[in-house]
Amino acid sequence: MPDQLRVALSTSSVYPGSTASGFETAARLGYDGVEVMVSIDDVSGDVEAVKSLSEFHEVPIVSVHAPCLLLTQRVWGTEPWGKLHRSAEMALEVGAETVVVHPPFRWQREYARGFVDGIADLEHQYGITFAVENMYPWRTGRREFQAYAPGWDPLQESYAHVTVDLSHSATAGEDALQMAKALGGRLAHIHLTDGSGSPRDEHLVPGHGEQPAQAFLEHVAASDYTGEIVVEINTRKAVDQETREADLLESLAFARLHASR
């Protein structure tokens, strides 16, 4: 059985705070590492800057989240494979073992056609994990739109490594625990959060939604899982810094309690 699982903080969890504040917060609150969300904050995509932040705060970078959100479509250019190569190069440079990536949007047709095989090729080329994240159908009222290709559900594809995000599973109407069981050894990375099943991607504090977050972590802790647990919650509506940090501390405590070995 692997040693105690690490709990890291996604820099997106302090948004609209900066990447730098994500490192500072992670170190001060006692997180074991940081996941860098490459975003519109220029620092997030600057390898030397994030290495300096990691060294200054003495907190390792455990993973890099590629810039594949709608908000980051122009970060590092517009060519999607180029973004993934650059993410891999950044991960190697900062000592991270995992790149988190979303499946393509349906309108990225050429990218989507070769995505599954292309991810396998990148893993072979760079010798690091590309963990494809579970997503969800987009819903407005009674209408549902399949925004991702080859699909939002990584269980339906042959990816060697998968990220399970509990907010995304809630939005999709799926059970994260059942996903983890079905994935087995393909579960390589975790975004710890929660959701109520709303059409919106909520990223609640774990335990504040309807996902079986506790049972999910207990299952992972009892398995041979060797990946990271990354807290990725939405604190944008926090009324002040004290409230934001209370949510981040509660999330950390939840992870430590239920993923202990």
The pLDDT tens digits for 167-180 are 999 999 999 999 99
Reduce the secondary structure of 53-94 to three states and give it as a string: HHHHHCCCEEEEECCCCHHHCCCCCCCHHHHHHHHHHHHHHH
User: What does the pLDDT look like over 62-75, one tens digit per residue?
Assistant: 999 999 988 898 89
Residue in this structure with the two tokens 């998968």, named with its chain if needed? 162
pLDDT digits (tens, 9 = 90+) for 113-122: 999 999 999 9
**What local confidence, expressed as pLDDT, does residue 70 receive?**
85
Judged against a pLDDT cut of 80, whether residue 1 lies above it is answered with no
- Residue 25's closest CA among 209, 195, 229, 251? 251
Token pair of 159 as six digits: 């990816």
61 within 8 A of 36, measured Cβ to Cβ: yes
Mean pLDDT score, 243-255: 97
Phi/psi region, residue 164 (left: phi>0; alpha: psi -120 to 50; beta: rest), is beta
pLDDT for position 33: 98
Containing 23, the helix (H) or strand (E) segment is helix 19-29
Residue 2 has pLDDT above 90, yes or no: no
CA distance 192 to 228: 10
For helices 176-183 and 213-222, the axis angle rounded to 10 degrees is 20
- Give the Cα separation of 39 and 47 in Å (integer): 13
> What is the reported pLDDT for 143?
84
- The CATH topology of domain 7-258 is TIM Barrel (3.20.20)
